[in-house]
Amino acid sequence: MSYVLGMDVSTTATKALLVDETGKVVGVGSVEYPYDTPRPLWSEQDPRYWWDAAVGAIRKALDQTGVSADEVAAIGLTGQMHGSVLLDDAGEVVRPAILWNDQRTEEECDEIRRRIGKERLIQITGNDALTGFTAPKLLWVQRHEPENWERVRHILLPKDYVRYRLTGEFAIDVADGSGTILFDLARRTWSDEILDALGLDRSLFPDTHEGPDVTGALSAAAAEATGLRAGTPVVAGGGDQSANAVGVGAIRPGIVALSLGTSGVVFAATEEPFTQAEGRLHAFCHAVPDRWHLMGVMLSAAGSLRWLRDAVAPDKSFDELVAGAAEVEPGAEGLMFLPYLSGERTPHPDPHARGAFVGLTVRHDLRHMTRAVLEGVAYGLRDSLQLMMETGLARPHEIRASGGGTRSQLWCQILADVLGTQIATIPDAEGAAYGAALLAAVGAGWFPTADEACAATVTVQPVAEPGDAASHYDSHHPIYQELYPALRFYGRRLD
């Protein structure tokens, strides 16, 4: 038996997943790490955490299964998108990576629009300049840390730093690369026009590759560290959302993926590049060759539930919180929650957006607050789906959901009711890491294409259908949509 290894370099942990030739997950290793918030709304991480965690996760997966190094045919990589990893001439880290959920770069976003023009920027990259993306982070370092910028010789994204430590090669896949907003979306590579306008030298950026392409081989040093075989191929992989879409089979139009992790994502594949005129939806390359995708992103999805638990009920488990919410009728007796705890991206690209409970009374308790959080996140995801449906490219009869939040049957039912669509999950799915493993399987020659890999391995299980509560949510979603415009100016005034 041969195996492939899928690795996910996420914000809170690195996971290594061993998958056999039938598509079965046979082993999982994971190592957690922290991230820093040196100032309000800042978010940074030392890239060396990722490498140490990758080594630990790989060894855990191998030890757990007894799989030998010679049996691992290829490695696929995925991870958190948009982070800025800056290396010097010796390949050493210059400063901590600025992460996807960092909100410090509002002025740099304005500068990008001034230099390029918002309309032209969206035409080329598929996206407006938002604080989460990589490009404004680079301008911020140029402006605020010129001594660090002078040392920069290589710019990578998080998973690609792990690739560098595995292989010694500087490389990036097109899905993750397009999330920098330095890409020509249609051409699937770096945009000379954008780089020139921002004063960024092309030599700083790695070569680009399609998701299943082999980008290098495991070095002797990395083999010794991880317990894998030197020379093992490492494929390009994809950013976490495109890799997750591969893992759930959302690689053709008509299948919508929903990810309910720390952030929340609604994802629809397209067969050609498509841009939404105002840039409220993200448009990126897919990890599958000759495919693209639209994506709506909310920054605090399951992260909102974690915040509630940590801030209000640290002695309770998530299961206990959700069990309490199940005792409350839909609508939480008039309580609503805005999940903008870290600013927002879709449908409101606003780093000053703030979370809020609206409608609190003395009757409400933790059960109502929890129910309002679950419903507020679902309403926010409906905003993204609604934008996609307005393009005519997403008319889902089924949404394939993944992420930690989907372990809750109640939350899946709320999603089905709010979105008005069947919710399905992938049994035993491991999210983006599984998609990275499937891309590695294509790179290893097990399957000729990602389509055939998904057809052979992805099994869908419906878990929730729209029910009696759907009409309530239909009537109350417009009220939810009125709350952000009513409160938006307070975010800036309270900063």
pLDDT at 262: 85
- 295: Cβ–Cβ under 8 A, 6 or more apart, which residues? 241, 265, 266, 267, 268, 281, 282, 283, 284, 346
- Exposure letters 139-163 (e unless 16+ CB within 10 A, then b): bbbbeeeeeebeebbbbbbbbbbbb
| Rounded distance between C-alpha atoms, residue 258 and residue 296, angstroms | 10
Identify whether the C-beta of residue 158 lies closer than 8 Å to the C-beta of residue 313.
no
Q: Are strands 238-239 and 72-79 parallel, antiparallel or unpaired?
A: parallel
Amino acid in position 164 = Y
Q: What confidence category does residue 394 fall into, taking pLDDT thresholds of 50, 70 and 90?
A: low
Residue 210 has pLDDT above 90, yes or no: yes
- Residue 478 CB burial class (10 angstroms; 0-12, 13-18, ≥19): exposed
SS3 content of the chain, % helix, strand, coil (to 5): 40, 20, 35
Helix (H, G, I), strand (E, B) or coil at 462: strand
pLDDT digits (tens, 9 = 90+) for 213-235: 999 999 999 999 999 999 999 99
Average pLDDT, the chain: 95
pLDDT in tens, 420-472: 999 999 876 678 999 999 999 999 999 999 999 999 999 999 999 999 999 99
Does the structure show a pLDDT above 90 at 397? Answer: no
The whole-angstrom separation of Cα 28 and Cα 72 is 14
Which domains does the chain possess?
Answer: 3-241 (3.30.420.40)
In the predicted structure, residue 287 carries a pLDDT above the cut 80 = yes
Q: What average pLDDT score do residues 304-315 get?
A: 96
- Among all residues, which ones are annotated catalytic? 240
Taking the C-alpha atoms of 91, 242, 297 and 197 in order, what is their torsion angle to the nearest 10 degrees? Answer: 50
Q: What is the pLDDT of residue 351?
A: 84
Residue 393: pLDDT over 80: no
Q: pTM, whole model, 2 decimals?
A: 0.90
Q: Is the pLDDT of residue 491 over 90?
A: no
pLDDT at residue 193 is higher than 80: yes
The CA distance from 324 to 331, in Å, is 14
Rounded distance, CA 150 to CA 146, Å? 6
Q: What is the pLDDT of residues 68-91, one digit of tens each?
A: 999 999 999 999 999 999 999 999
Q: What are phi and psi of 147, to 5 degrees?
A: -65, -35
pLDDT tens, position by position, 17-27: 999 999 999 99
Cα-Cα-Cα-Cα dihedral of 426, 427, 432, 437, to 10°?
Answer: -110
